[in-house]
């Protein structure tokens, strides 16, 4: 039979609250550093896809491109890229709003 005191001693003592870890880089610098590799790079790619679709469209109506599938494929790719961007942006804003609604 164990004594009540001995049973209580088996629990871990409460750890003191440690200070929050400071971020390795300043918030502003972190956002700037992340932009070219992440969303910024995606936006650049989207912009070039859109540009290609525009060029293909102009070439088609001015008679430079003689096969229509080149233009429609470029247009489909640009459409998908824009849809991807909008979907990502919507999710990001949604997540941000979710956090902003948090009760403190």
Partner 1 sequence: MGYLDAIDTARSGATLASTWLDAISDNIANANTIRGAGQEPYRARTVIASSDAEGKGVHVAGVQVASGTPDVSYDPTNPLADEKGYVTLPKVDMNEQMTNLVVAQRLYQMNINAMAAARDMAQTALSIGAKQ
Binding site residues, partner 1, CB under 8 A: 45, 67, 69-70, 72-73, 76-77, 79-81, 83-84, 87, 90-91
CB of 51 to partner 1, least distance (A): 15
Task: Please report, for residues 23, 34, 37, 67, the alpha-carbon distance to residue 30 in angstroms, rounded to integers and kept in the order given.
Answer: 9, 6, 12, 46
Nearer to partner 1, 20 or 100 (CB): 100
Nearer to partner 1, 36 or 91 (CB): 91
Nearer to partner 1, 61 or 70 (CB): 70
- Give the separation between CA 88 and CA 82, rounded to whole angstroms: 10
Compute and round to an integer the Cα radius of gyration of the chain.
28
Helix (H) or strand (E) holding 97: helix 68-100
CB of 97 to partner 1, least distance (A): 12
């Amino acid at each position: 039979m164990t004594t009540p005191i001995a049973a209580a001693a088996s629990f871990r003592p409460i750890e003191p609250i440690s200070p929050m870890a400071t971020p390795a880089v300043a918030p502003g610098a972190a956002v700037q550093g992340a932009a070219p590799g992440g969303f910024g790079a995606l936006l650049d790619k989207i912009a070039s896809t859109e540009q290609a679709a525009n060029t293909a469209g102009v070439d088609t109506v001015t008679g430079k491109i003689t096969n229509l599938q080149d233009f429609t494929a470029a247009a489909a790719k640009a459409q998908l890229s824009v849809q991807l961007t909008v979907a990502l942006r919507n999710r990001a804003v949604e997540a941000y709003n979710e956090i902003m609604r948090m009760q403190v």
